[in-house]
Structure 1
Amino acid sequence: MRLILAPMEGLLDDVLRDVLTRAAVYDWAVSEFMRVSGTLLPHRFYSRLCPELLTGGRTAAGTAVRLQLLGSDPSCIAENAAHLLALAPPGIDLNFGCPAPTVNRHRGGAALLDEPDLLHDIAAAVRAVVPRSLPFTAKMRLGIADKGRAVECARALAAGGVDELIVHARTKSEGYRPPAHWEWVGLVADAVSIPVVANGEVWSEADWMRCREVSGVADVMLGRGAVADPFLATRIRRKAEGTPSGEPDREAEWEALKPLLALFWWRVQRKLAPRFAPGRLKQWLNLLRRNHPGAEGLFQEIRALPRVGEIDAALGRYGIPVEAVALAA
């Protein structure tokens, strides 16, 4: 049983990866996508989007981060993948799952799922330059508007040489709306000889159990569920080990989250201009309040605050040790 931390453009960047992999153990994580289009990208581009490359390709907690490439030109993606090897990434992943219109308009992400031959050619071109010793994976959705070619796409990627396939159990047009069609992950897994990982709509231990039961696959990638519930992966592992857990102790988890929130806020301020930093904290708190009552009050208090100093004061009132993190750094 493996748990993988998903890539989420505009949300799950290196800062949040650092925090979430401190909160729970993941077998590996995937970076936000790096768009490859018609040019050989410099190494600084990759290390800027995935600064873990500067520390052995791992987060501070030791989680390996595979780099995700997105594009539609097989030779260009392969050329960039070969160039990227000099940075010693822990693995390379291909994105055929992003449903964002701005990405899809430029023939990227899930927009390619009506072209299984192209999926094969992209995978084969990258496979030709990536050594067999380096993990090479791909993430796909079930299709653009219907699921009729999901198996064909999966077979094309497997034939192209990917080692594993992550299947987000929705179509592009379904976006992130429930439900996730876990039974289709099972159909894909039955049709290919490589390992398949299920992704989509796993918010709780019960969801994880149902996802595995319905799909028939052992491994699960967590995305929004991990962001909204940073200790979810820990509770899932306990359940997998047969350790009785009962209902989550949300008060205890909120107390454990406070230093992680402080670290997140400190790192966000180091990464972003002051006018953008508050939005990132509000974005995470908005998801956290789904599970943590403590996050609800804090979110309501800071949601209209535009300035870093005002937010520092609010965090202090909630016992979140921002100054201690700054001093320790």
Structure 2
Amino acid sequence: MQIALAPMEGLVDEILRDVLTQVGGIDWCVTEFIRVTERVLPVSSYEKLAPELFSGAQTAAGTPLRVQFLGSDPACLADNAAFACTLGAPVIDLNFGCPAKTVNKSRGGAVLLKEPELLHAIVREVRRAVPAAIPVTAKMRLGFDHKDYALECAEALAEGGAAQIVVHARTKVEGYKPPAHWEWVARVQDVVKVPVFANGEIWTLDDWRRCREVSGVEDIMLGRGLVARPDLARQIAAARAGQEVVAMSWAELQPLLADFWLQARRKMSPRYAPGRLKQWLAMLTRSYPEATELFNLLRRENDCQRIDALLGIEFAEAERVEQASA
């Protein structure tokens, strides 16, 4: 069984990948999508979106990182994938599931599920362009506005050379509205010979158990559920191994929140760092009542130093300790 952390654009950046993988239970993670249009992207694009490539292609906790591309030009995607491999990308992932309107209008993400032949061409060209030892994988939804092409799309990906397929068990139009149609994951697995990962609407241990029963697959990818409950992967791994499951308490989460905020302070503009903290806190409210109280306390606060004080963090001292240990 493998448990993966989903690539969520605008949410799971290098900071949150670092913090979540510290908790454990995650076998691999994926970058936010790297948009490819007409040229081979420079190294600076990877320094921004995939900085782990320059530290062994893994997070500080040792969790392997995959590089995800999004686009519709097979040749251009292939060229960029080949370049990413020279930077150390251990796996190339292709995004055919993004539901964002702006992305879909530019022929990226889930809109390509209307064109199974193009999916096949993209995967085939990327597979040909990268070294044989580097797997090419794909993430898809069940379709754009219907599921009629779901199985054909999955077959196109597998026949093109995808070594794994992650299925977000909803269409683009369904977005993130429950339910996720896990029974379709089973149908996909029936028509392809490569491993299929179930994704979508797994928020709790019970959700995972139901997903496994309905989909019939062991491998899963966790997105919002893992962001809202940072130890969900660890809980699932423990349950799968027959071990006792002990949920992370709010007190145990505090060092992770502090680490997240300190990294955001160091790496982001003061204009944007508070918003990223509040974004994560808003999702944590689903699992922790205490997060609601803290979120309400910080809701209108955008001054980094005042947020430091509310979190009980001495930023200057933390920076001094960080520099001393570097």
Identify the match of residue 267 of structure 2 among 267, 271, 277: 271
Q: Which residue of 2 aligns with 1:174?
A: 174
Identify the match of residue 253 of structure 1 among 243, 249, 256: 249
Q: Deviations over 1:181-218 (max 9, x none)?
A: 00001100100011100000000011111111100011
Per-residue deviation, 1:323 = 6.0
Matched, 1:148 2:148: yes
- Contact 2:96–2:138 (Cα < 8 Å) also in 1: yes
- Contact 2:74–2:125 (Cα < 8 Å) also in 1: yes
Q: Which residue of 2 aligns with 1:242?
A: 242
Unpaired stretches in structure 1, ≥5 consecutive residues = none
For normalisation by structure 2, the TM-score amounts to 0.96
Which amino acid is 2:215 matched to?
Answer: S
Matched, 1:310 2:306: yes
Q: How many residues end up aligned between the 2 structures?
A: 322
- Contact 1:99–1:175 (Cα < 8 Å) also in 2: yes
State how 1:44-55 maps to structure 2 within 5 Å. Answer: 44-55=44-55
- Contact 1:265–1:322 (Cα < 8 Å) also in 2: no
Matched, 1:284 2:277: no
Q: Which residue of 2 aligns with 1:94?
A: 94
User: Measured at CA, do residues 261 and 73 of structure 1 come closer, stay the same or move farther in structure 2, by a change above 3 Å?
Assistant: same
Per-residue deviation, 1:142 = 0.2
Q: In the aligned structure 1, how far is the partner of 2:126 from the partner of 2:275?
A: 37
Unpaired stretches in structure 2, ≥5 consecutive residues = none
SS of alignment partner, residue 31 of structure 2: strand
SS of alignment partner, residue 68 of structure 2: strand
Q: In the aligned structure 2, how far is the partner of 1:97 from the partner of 1:304?
A: 34
Which amino acid is 2:319 matched to?
Answer: A
Q: In the aligned structure 2, how far is the partner of 1:231 from the partner of 1:321?
A: 26
User: Measured at CA, do residues 203 and 321 of structure 1 come closer, stay the same or move farther in structure 2, by a change above 3 Å?
Assistant: farther
SS of alignment partner, residue 137 of structure 1: strand
For normalisation by structure 1, the TM-score amounts to 0.95
Q: Deviations over 1:103-160 (max 9, x none)?
A: 0000000010010000000000000012221121000000001111000000001010
Per-residue deviation, 1:324 = 6.0
- Contact 1:24–1:230 (Cα < 8 Å) also in 2: no
Q: Which residue of 2 aligns with 1:326?
A: 319
State how 1:1-329 maps to structure 2 within 5 Å. Answer: 1-245=1-245, 248=247, 253-316=249-312, 325-329=318-322
Name the Cα RMSD after superposition.
1.3
